[in-house]
């Protein structure tokens, strides 16, 4: 499997080998025992960074309040932050996603990863 150059370089500089990749090429990473990020190679050569922020409540009114709060906070962050808060495909969790273009370097991936982890910490606090 061909990986984006930035991802290959990041793995090499971090001492990670291909055995840590999932069968679809995703690389799961864990920081500080609680911050999980998946590096997902995209078909265009870019990389998506994805993390679970929190599960969705089961009660409909709580779900609606959470989504409303998330939308308000997201609007305030749009201009200054490239990350996006999304609803998981199964609609059971809010997720954070950041995208990196295909020609990105390892240092750009590292900067994006740092910003993603900071955003993940922010969102977990904001939506607790």
Q: Tell me, yes or no, if the pTM score tops 0.85.
A: yes
Q: CA quadruple 91, 92, 93, 97: dihedral positive or negative?
A: negative
The CATH number for 99's domain is 3.30.1460.10
CB atoms within 10 A of CB 119: 22
Show the domain range for 117.
5-126
Beta-strand runs (E) in the chain: 27-31, 35-41, 47-55, 84-87, 93-100
**Contact residues for 43 (Cβ-Cβ < 8 A; gap 6+):** none
| Structural domain total, the chain | 1
- Give me the tens of pLDDT residue by residue for the chain, a chain 128 residues long: 789 999 999 999 999 999 999 999 999 999 999 999 999 999 999 999 999 999 999 999 999 999 999 999 998 887 788 889 999 889 999 999 999 999 999 999 999 999 999 999 999 999 99
């Amino acid at each position: 499997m061909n990986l984006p150059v930035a991802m290959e370089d990041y793995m090499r500089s971090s001492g990670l080998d291909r055995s840590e990749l999932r069968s679809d090429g995703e690389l799961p990473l864990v920081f500080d025992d609680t911050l999980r990020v998946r590096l997902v190679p995209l078909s265009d050569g870019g990389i998506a960074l994805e993390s679970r922020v929190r599960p969705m409540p089961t009660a409909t009114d709580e779900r609606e309040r959470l989504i409303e709060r998330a939308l308000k906070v997201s609007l305030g962050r749009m201009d200054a932050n490239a990350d996006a808060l999304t609803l998981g495909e199964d609609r059971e969790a809010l997720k954070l996603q950041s995208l990196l273009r295909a020609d990105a370097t390892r240092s750009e991936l590292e900067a994006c990863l740092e910003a993603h982890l900071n955003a993940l910490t922010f969102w977990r606090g904001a939506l607790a």
